[in-house]
Structures are given as C-alpha cells and as structure tokens.
Structure 1
Amino acid sequence: MKENWKLLDDFIEQSERIVFFGGAGISTESGIPDFRSASGLYSQGGGYAYPPEVMLSRSFFMREPELFYSFYRGEMLHPEAKPNPGHRALAELEKRGKLTAVITQNIDGLHQLAGSRHVLELHGSVLRNTCMECGASYGLEAVTASSEIIPRCSVCGGMIKPDVVLYEEGLDAAVLNEAAYRIAEADLLLVGGTSLTVQPAAGLVRRFRGDKLALINRNPTPYDADAACIIRDPIGQVLGSILGIEEEPAPGF
C-alpha cells in the first residue's frame, strides 16, 4: 500500500467521527463527467448556444425552460450510473459506526444508492422534482419519461422544477447549518473530488477543528497547506483498497 494511503488508513482506524465532504470527483469513476477540469462540462461547453453556467441559472430556467430542459436532460442526468467503490466504502464506514455524515455537492444520488443514510446534499438532487404551482412531488421519471420538453404536473399542469440548487439560488440553510455542525464535531475530515473553490460550500472546511484533514483530489486545492494527508489518486481506488471494497462485476459475469 502506498505510504499516503497507509497514512489515511491509520487515520480512519484512529477516528470515530469521520465526515466526508465531496464533489464531482467521486462520481467520475461512475461515468459522470465533472465540471471544472480540462475535460469537464464547463470547459467543453457541449456545443450549446449559452455557457453551462447561464443555462443552469434560475433566471434562464424561468425565461427559457425548453432550452434549460434540453441541456439538463442531455448533460446533467445519468440514470444509468452506479455507485463505485468510493461510494460503497463510505457507506461501509457509516455501517461500522465510524462515519457520521456524507456532505456532498453532487446531485446524482449515488451515495444513497450505495447505502449511505446520513447524506447532506448541499446542491439538492435530480431524484426529487416539485411542481412550481401546487408543490406536488415527483421522482426522476417525471423528467426522463415526460413526452413533453417541459415536464408538467399531473395534478395541476404546472411546470415541474428539479430540486437542484441553480445559480442565483441560495443553499438550504438547515442543510448548510447541519453540515457546519458535523464538520466542527469531526475528528477526521475526509475531502474528496472537489476543487474547494465554490462558495459557500467550500468555506465549510474552515469549520473543522481537528488535526486530521485528508484531501483526495487530483489537483491542488486552497487547503493543501492545512492537510495532514494529500492523495492524488482516484477516490474509488483509494477508499476501495483501504476498505476492501471491489468493483462490482459487469452484468453477465
């Protein structure tokens, strides 16, 4: 085992209140593109007439819902994606009573699918959708299976909006406050797959009061100087190896 992997293994063994704070990098191994890398959505653009940041804004959603949903379905939804060893390792740590929370900037729902129960979704989830008129709740199929470009409520006909935090929208205060509390109480803060540049979420790391900050990220972050352990390898490989979690076999094997 690599030296820095062994150090993280020791940290996990020594800790009882682990918190994982993660971003898109933990889901790239499940086939979901990230946003800010050279090959990510923001850099590539996808050939749309507007930048992704514009199309993922509240004002654009209200002004151009058809274009929003064209982009959203094409680029943001990955219903075929499955949890990788990184997701499953975190669920195993929670099962063992060592991990108190997963705090995620992702909207894909893979942590819950892997078995994690205490997941704080800072940016919402594509799995939840709500009618803007009557408040009726819908699952992902309301968007993916709709025969209309703009999914409509079966109760009142109102436009359905994904329960994801768009640009120009604020984060849920209750979720943000609990995330801050969990990080402040942690004895190991494990950060993975996030650039730690998006505020206010990235500022949560400053709430950590312990001495075991571990970063698993392929690129440097603003918090590298504060970390006790830095790993540049893929999260799934690292956590899967440490926790003994293997890749699930492909169908048919």
Structure 2
Amino acid sequence: MNSEIEKLKNVVNNSNNIVFFGGAGVSTESGIPDFRSADGLYQNNPETILSHSFFIENPDIFFEFYKKNLIFTSAKPNTAHNVLAQMEKDKKLKGIITQNIDALHQKAGSENVFELHGSIAKNHCMKCGKFYSLDDFLKIETMVPLCSCGGIIKPDVVLYEEELDYDVINGAVNLLKKADVLIVGGTSLMVNPAASLINYFDGSYLALINMTPTPYDSRADIIIREKIGETFSKIY
C-alpha cells in the first residue's frame, strides 16, 4: 500500500473529528463530468451561460444548457460517497463540505452536508417561493420551467455573479474550525471563495487527495495522487 495512503488510514483510525472537503473529482467516478469541461451550447465557456445575468436575459438557453450538462439522473454514489456516509454513521466524520451540486452525498446517506454551490435537488419559484423537487422540476415539459403561479422556477444552485449562502458558509467555517483532521479530495482548490475556506482549518492533519497539484500542497501533511474512490476503499 502507498505509504501516504497508509499514513492517512492510521490518521482516520485514530480520529473521531474528521471533516471532508470535496470537489468535482469526487463525482467524476459516478460518471458526472466536471462542468468546466462540458461541451455545451457555448463550447467550454460555462462561466458565461451559468451567470446570473445570462440566466435572467436568456432563460431558455440557460435551461437547455443546464438540463443537458448539469443534471445526471442516472448517476449513483460511488465508493467515496459511500465510505464517507459510513464514516459519519460511525461517528468519525463530523460533516462534509462540497462544491458539487449533484446531491450524491445525501443519496449515499450522509446527513451533515454543506453544499457551497447549492443543489440540483432543490428548486424554488422566483415569484411565490414554492418548492419543487428535482422530479417535479423535470416533469415540467416547457424548456423554461414555470410555477403554477406563472413565475420561473430557479434551481437552488449558485450561479456566477451570485453570492454563496451565508448560513452554509457559516456552518462550513464552524465545522472547519473544530476539526482535528481535514481531508480534501477531488478539487484543485482553485475556485474561490470556496477553496479559501480551508484556511479556517487549524487542526492536526491536512490530507490532500487529488490527481494534480494544488496551491495548498505545501501545507499538507499527506498528499495522495490517486483517484479518490480507490483511496477511500483502502483507508476505511
């Protein structure tokens, strides 16, 4: 076994105060591509089409792209999601902070999940505030989903030009401040303000699991360059 994986396994075995911070790499093993490389209507430029201003000005084009590139109804939790859920049940993992919007952590059974960029599983009418589940959202046949009141139903995902939810940020920060071990996986830690949140961690061990280097490598106690699902299958 890789010496770094062995080290992380020992750290996990001896801690009951672990927090996991994850990115797109956690879900790619479930068949969900990183949306930054998705082939959409705007050819690898999702920052434009997934902006608040574009959504307001071109809702029809926005929703066509959104439904095609960001919703994967057949995706299922992979080893990483399942192991993290088990760690939470075993009282070792205190919570998950994720940049993903796919809700796969909850599908795997995790309960204390802070979704920094929102979730496709939640949708609300912009006019009356009525809630729509993903199933209800997808049952609407028009390209631009409309509520019974006539308002547009917006997915609860954070678009470019929008601020992150204060309560989610606050919860994530409190989790990080109290953690003894922080495992960061499947993220290049290049997207701020989300990535900068790990600066609130001041615990004993910082472990980074990512196929490529990150700006925080010099601060890590453990660095693993393997797929996150395979790594979790070896450490727990």
Judging changes above 3 Å, is the alpha-carbon distance between structure 1 residues 50 and 7 closer, same or farther for their aligned structure 2 residues? closer
Please name the residue that 1:189 is paired with.
182
Tell me if 1:62 matches 2:56: yes
Shift of 1:50: 8.1
Which of residues 149, 154, 159 is equivalent to 2:152?
159
TM-score (norm: length of structure 1): 0.90
- CA deviation map 1:131-152 (0-9, x unaligned): 0000000011233222101011
Which residue of 1 is the match for residue 9 of structure 2? 9
Please give the residue correspondences for 1:1-253 in structure 2 after superposition, counting only pairs within 5 Å: 1-36=1-36, 40-41=37-38, 45-48=39-42, 51-154=45-148, 156-243=149-236
**How many matched pairs?**
236
Partners of 2:68 and 2:122 in 1: CA distance: 18
> Contact conserved, 1:105 with 1:121, CA < 8 A, in 2?
yes
List alignment gaps of at least 5 residues for structure 1: 244-253
User: Do 2:19 and 2:94's aligned partners in 1 also have CA atoms closer than 8 Å?
Assistant: yes
Structure 1 moving runs of 4+ over 4 Å: none
- Look up the equivalent residue of 2:4 and give its one-letter code: N
CA RMSD of aligned residues (A): 1.2
Superposition deviation, residue 4 in structure 1: 1.2
| d(CA) in 2 for partners of 1:141, 1:29 | 23
Taking the aligned partners of 1:88 and 1:80, their CA distance within structure 2 comes to: 16
CA distance in structure 1 between the aligned counterparts of 2:59 and 2:44, rounded to whole angstroms = 13
SS of the residue 1:149 aligns to: coil
Q: SS in structure 1 opposite 2:235?
A: helix
Distance 1:196 1:210 in 2: 18
Match of 2:183, SS state, is strand
Q: Name the CA distance, whole Å, in 2 between partners of 1:114 and 1:50.
A: 30
Secondary structure in 1 aligned to 2:11? helix
Contact conserved, 1:142 with 1:151, CA < 8 A, in 2?
no
Given the two structures, how large is their TM-score scaled by the length of structure 2? 0.97
Query: What CA deviation, in whole Å up to 9, does each residue of 1:44-65 have, x standing for no partner?
Result: x435368211100000000000
Conservation of the 8 A alpha-carbon contact between 2:19 and 2:176:
yes
Deviation at 1:177, TM superposition (A): 1.0
Aligned-pair identity (%): 53
Q: What is the rounded CA distance, in whole Å, between the counterparts of 1:137 and 1:172 in structure 2?
A: 17
